[in-house]
Amino acid sequence: MVPLKEIRRISEYEWEIPQSYRPDMRGAVHIFATRRLLEEISGDKSLEQAVNSTTLPGLVGNVLVMPDMHQGYGFPIGGVAATRYPEGVISPGAIGYDINCGVRLLATQIEHKAVQDWLGDLALALNQHCPSGVGESGAIRMSEAELEKVCVEGAHWTQKKGYATEMDVRRTEETGRVEGADPSHVSKRAKDRGRPQLGTLGAGNHFIEVDVVEQVFDAQAAQAMGLQEGNLAVQIHCGSRGFGHQICTDFVHEFQSVVKRYQIKLPDRELVCAPLDSPEGQSYLAAMRCAANYAFANRQVLAHNARQAFEQVLAGKVKNWRLFQVYDLAHNIGKIEQHMVDGELITVCVHRKGATRAFGPGAPGVPAEYSKIGQPVLVPGSMGTASWVLAGTQESMERTFGSSCHGAGRVMSRSQAKKMVRGENLRKELVQRGIHIQAGSLAGLAEEAPQAYKDVDDVVKTVAGAGIANKVARLKPVIVVKG
């Protein structure tokens, strides 16, 4: 544990564990949090994990920690670390097991008040069209050769198959296709797990949610995104399913011997890594990109299925039932990017684990329609609470490698939540608040209870106060579909 007395306050929303805290640190840890949020996270090992992460060879600048941070595997969830490319290292634990877990937001022109009588039917239809649950299979059947095309083409594969529009692909991070994916570096076990799961939601904290745009804070940005107060929007939160999990598992196991081969000393074996310019590092990069592209395709197929559900229930009842892509972005990924560091433009591998890209106005890769406002940043809250749409800033580019928070962040483990919350009681409470729930199990519902998470409004207040993201709109849920 890192004692709070060792943490230096920089501002109301930023704190530092100085590099002098431990002799093996290669940089400081910068924490974006209020005093209260900092006290909440001081009880787990996340700050210690952030300090350990500063020992990664080739670290550039500081390790950054967002206000939704909590303990992860080796590297804190909510953490950002950049290593010099190609001389630095890449660490699977600093990217996460659910590679390219991320969020997609779709906007509508449907007024909430016009469709309240059909929300129950819509919840059922979404649950039917979007398979969820542990190990659940989807309707798409793929050969290994077809899976490999998904690995390389990502969302572009879905466009060819009729699951995506040109706008869908254009308004996806990296247009839904990370270059450099190579399926030859993916194990047969991972491919076997991935083939039947495309177009499925999974379980845990993954969900499909129908929200109402409750309040707009930036009219220009909201208009560019197609968000209007009182209208419905749809969030899809999931990742690369068993495919990405197996890839991470394979390389974490392999890298246990790789660190010895390259004489890399680490304070935590969960941080195992490989030099980016080594055969092993390049192999992981190629496989990780396959999982990233798979996840982009997975969320796109789910978006297609959600559109079918909306058509089934609302076609003929409202003038325009269609869902329009706002943005899709990853929050567990490693990306090769260029950033200004101490006045020098350098190439780095940015590890984002439970943190999203938040590129500012005019940054490379931001769709033209968002160039003036910055990239959309999607921050789902806990089940039954608010979610936020933000926009990246120039300050995020200068201070956080263009990164921001990804959600509310847990304060309670899943096992703790199940002990403290009864799923049936939670379901009743949410229904009384006007939220239609479709859940695979009551135990799974209890795991994701709102009290298991931080207050997402506090998290967003912090990143907005620190200047690394701007508020655009606040959403509130009316339908939640979970595995």
Active-site residues, by number, are: 406
CA distance 386 to 60: 35
User: Which of 225, 254, 252, 275 lies closest to 109, judged by CA?
Assistant: 225
CA distance 214 to 216: 7
147: phi then psi, degrees, rounded to nearest 5 = -60, -40
Strand partners, 333: 352
Strand partners, 436: 479
Tell me, what amino acid is at 409? Answer: G
CA triple 349-355-206, angle to 5 deg: 125
Burial, 267: exposed, middle or buried (Cβ in 10 Å; 0-12, 13-18, 19+)? middle
For 219, the token pair is 């009219």
What is the residue whose two structure tokens read 């690995």? 151
Question: Which region holds residue 439: left if phi is over 0, alpha if psi is between -120 and 50, else beta?
Answer: beta
Task: Calculate the CA 453 to chain-centre distance.
Answer: 16
Which residues are CB-contacts of 420 (< 8 A; sequence separation ≥ 6)?
A: 412, 449, 451
CA distance 463 to 459: 7
Q: What share of the chain is helix, strand, coil (3-state, %, to 5)?
A: 40, 25, 35
End-to-end CA distance of the chain: 34
Taking each helix axis from N to C terminus, what angle separates 144-153 and 279-314, rounded to the nearest 10 degrees? 90
Strand partners, 328: 104, 172
User: Which of 40, 85, 97, 23 lies closest to 281, judged by CA?
Assistant: 85
CA distance 437 to 64: 36
CA distance 282 to 272: 15
